[in-house]
Structure 1
Amino acid sequence: MIAQLRRNDTLRYKIFGRHTGLRVSELVLGTANFGMAWGHGAGPEEARRILDTYADQGGNFLDSSNGYQGGESEEFLGELLEGRRDDFVVSTKYAVQTDPSSGVLVTGNSRQAMVASVEASLRRLKTDRIDLYWNHVSDGVTPLEEIVRGFDDLVRAGKILYAGLSNFPAWRVARAATIAELRGAVPIAGIQVEHSLVQRATEQDLIPTSQALGIGVVAYSPLGGGVLTGKYRAGKSDSRRDEAWAGAGFQPENSPQRTAIIDTLLAVAKEAGVTPGEIAIAWVAKKGSLPIIGPRTLEQLKSNLAAAKVSLSPEQMERLDAVSALPLAYPYTVLDDPRIKGLITGGKDDQIDPPPYPVA
């Protein structure tokens, strides 16, 4: 069987997690490339073309950060959204430096950094509220009680509507969600994680945690920083892969498994008559996450959007899953062992229908 293409050119909508009624498009437009402060990106006119085309296809979920392009990403969005603010779910983040002048008190996860950052982001975005506010990355020291209370205060003040955690370990996500539930605070609506054919560690704990707790999942870098487009295989080197975040988002082809992943990806793309990037994004979407696409040009956007029309066959998913699989880690080496499953089900494991989601 080969991948099938959807007839409808417009994006479909998903309900974001089980704690909101928020209707978001199946592909998220990442705006890290809106601006030129990093020395590369999209200028104002190209950014407008990208946003307009995304919106024309039904896209409504925008992802930014105070740290993208030294704040220019948010500034561009503020200009581009004038007159149509209510057509979009605007999400942005705090915790990292906006520019080199951002000091110790306005970075990290503290309430002080949160409040300072949200006010600055509101000014840059030219809006009265942020629809989804992400804590960009765990600092490992701010108590989750402080983070949850800070989010709740911002919701009560009308500064934000929903809260999420990005780049947090699963145990911290679970604790934050539990604290919010027990205290009647705004729930943790979503997590943002790296997820792709070359980064599947997310599937061990973070995605099952989100499924069990009803938390929406947004997946960044579904193209592995570009390696899953196949362009580096074709000899099209691009220094930009090493510039943004000092190259932290790029996943190189540096192991026999990654070579096998890209070989299989190219083969599936050839069978389907689409690009490897479309297959890579479609694979992430099939796993239940909302992929973030982060184009720098209108051409890249159109290629990314085409992924929404790709429907991978079960056989193709099986091949991609098999070649990219990671070895089980404890405790799953025990929990997924058929012998253990037999012991805890009285030998009836194959006769028990599991629930649709993991149970918390």
Structure 2
Amino acid sequence: MHYRTLGGTGIEVSAHCLGAMMFGAAGNPDHDDSIRIIHTALDQGINFVDTADMYSTGESEEIVGKALKGRRDDVVLATKGHFPLDDENVRNRRGNSRRWLTRAVEDSLRRLDTDWIDLYQVHRPDHSTDIEETLWALTDLVSAGKIRAFGCSAFPAEDIVEAHHVSETRGYGRFRTNQPVYSMLARGIERSILPICRRLGMGVLTYSPLAFGFLSGKIRKGQPIDLTSGRAALAPYRFDPTIPGNAAKYDALEQLIEVAEDLGVTLPELALAFVTTHPAVTSVIAGPRTMEQLTGLLKAADLALDDETLDRIDKIVPPGTDLYPAVAAAEPPSLTDIAQRRRLYADR
């Protein structure tokens, strides 16, 4: 297992981070089995665990807390807050305001059964809250000893730059990390996000290296796919081969499988190794649901891709190209909020 420094914090983390999204009702409801998976990952050298309060409505954090009993000092623990955990219509229980983040951190500390969080991340941008308010609140949480460092998740380049500017001019702590989507099929962050994070000295924790299951090796062009179960059931439009926009993904998939076969590795191994190759990436988050999946992911820890292999991947999916749909929640309000595009709605 390789280790890298996290965003200038001096904290060393494994290049592979254990994602806990699939522990709990949304993935593996068996707490004992989930704990065994976490322990196995730690025993294999992973010292970085990432979860979020919204994963299985807090259940993931509870499982992680149980698993880290007696091992907390050896683990770099990351979690996130932003989304509502109950009725989405309940006011002031969501977003990046001081009011909500202060409560969200306390609730996460309780579920994780720990005195501190090593890395606390705001899960998504919140353009209804001044970024100064968010940074001020997070800086105070560091001063209070509740969190050690803070970062952001799925922030676009312009929001990262604005946050950095506010931190410098107002004297607040700054985002030490960003957590974006990155895979062989979703390379859009190579255009500006990764270069900016590298320039600002931010750590980058990428998620969905298997493109939400598309690069799991279980999907093939021309073969039947069950759109009613697993990842496909959560977002059928991402996998449905009858949708014209998906044709390019399936074509690229077959070529990437050929690259993996020529190397004598599995497609998931190739996918994880590709992500960790980028110099701006600190750690890749992999979220197994079963022990079998974890075992497969761990095999990629020592896989290094040579220039010839990377050149082949570049020809299949050119740098900076997104063949996979963007994460809807990360889209800016200028695209998702009709009132920001049409005066008729804005004047109501």
Structure 2 matches for 1:1-360, cutoff 5 A? Answer: 11-17=1-7, 19-36=8-25, 38=26, 40-100=27-87, 103-233=90-220, 235=224, 237=226, 239-242=229-232, 246-247=234-235, 254-288=245-279, 289=281, 290-325=283-318
TM-score normalised according to structure 1 size: 0.82
Cα pair distance change 1:249/1:260, threshold 3 Å: closer
Amino acid in structure 2 at the alignment position of 1:13: Y
> 1:56 Cα deviation (Å)?
1.0
Q: Quick check: 2:150–2:175 contact (8 Å CA) kept in 1?
A: yes
> 1:183 Cα deviation (Å)?
3.1
Cα pair distance change 1:242/1:87, threshold 3 Å: same
Mapped partners of 1:193, 1:252: distance in 2: 24
Amino acid in structure 2 at the alignment position of 1:15: T
> Which segment drifts farther, 255-264 or 173-182?
255-264
Amino acid in structure 2 at the alignment position of 1:264: Q
Amino acid in structure 2 at the alignment position of 1:58: G
* CA distances 1:203-228 after superposition (whole Å, capped 9, x unpaired): 11111110110000010000001111
TM-score normalised according to structure 2 size: 0.85
Mapped partners of 1:312, 1:88: distance in 2: 28
Amino acid in structure 1 at the alignment position of 2:219: Y
Q: SS at the partner of 2:251?
A: helix
> 1:237 Cα deviation (Å)?
3.5
Mapped partners of 1:328, 1:47: distance in 2: 35
Q: Quick check: 1:167–1:193 contact (8 Å CA) kept in 2?
A: yes
Mapped partners of 2:103, 2:237: distance in 1: 27
> 1:101 Cα deviation (Å)?
7.1
* CA distances 1:67-93 after superposition (whole Å, capped 9, x unpaired): 001110001111111111111111111
Amino acid in structure 2 at the alignment position of 1:283: F
Q: Quick check: 1:25–1:60 contact (8 Å CA) kept in 2?
A: yes
Mapped partners of 2:306, 2:99: distance in 1: 49
Mapped partners of 2:66, 2:94: distance in 1: 25
Mapped partners of 2:236, 2:112: distance in 1: 26
Mapped partners of 2:320, 2:115: distance in 1: 47
Mapped partners of 1:294, 1:72: distance in 2: 15
Q: Quick check: 1:28–1:60 contact (8 Å CA) kept in 2?
A: yes
Cα pair distance change 1:14/1:326, threshold 3 Å: closer
Q: Quick check: 1:90–1:131 contact (8 Å CA) kept in 2?
A: yes
> Which segment drifts farther, 62-71 or 195-204?
195-204
> Which segment drifts farther, 246-255 or 276-285?
246-255
How many residues matched?
Answer: 314
Amino acid in structure 1 at the alignment position of 2:37: I
Mapped partners of 1:98, 1:240: distance in 2: 22
Unaligned runs of 5+ in 2: 323-348
* CA distances 1:122-148 after superposition (whole Å, capped 9, x unpaired): 100001111100000112221111111
Cα pair distance change 1:320/1:219, threshold 3 Å: same
* CA distances 1:279-324 after superposition (whole Å, capped 9, x unpaired): 0111011113221100000000010111112111211101112211
Q: Percent identity?
A: 38
* CA distances 1:164-204 after superposition (whole Å, capped 9, x unpaired): 01011111111112222333322211000001111111111
Q: Quick check: 2:119–2:147 contact (8 Å CA) kept in 1?
A: yes
Q: Quick check: 1:66–1:97 contact (8 Å CA) kept in 2?
A: no
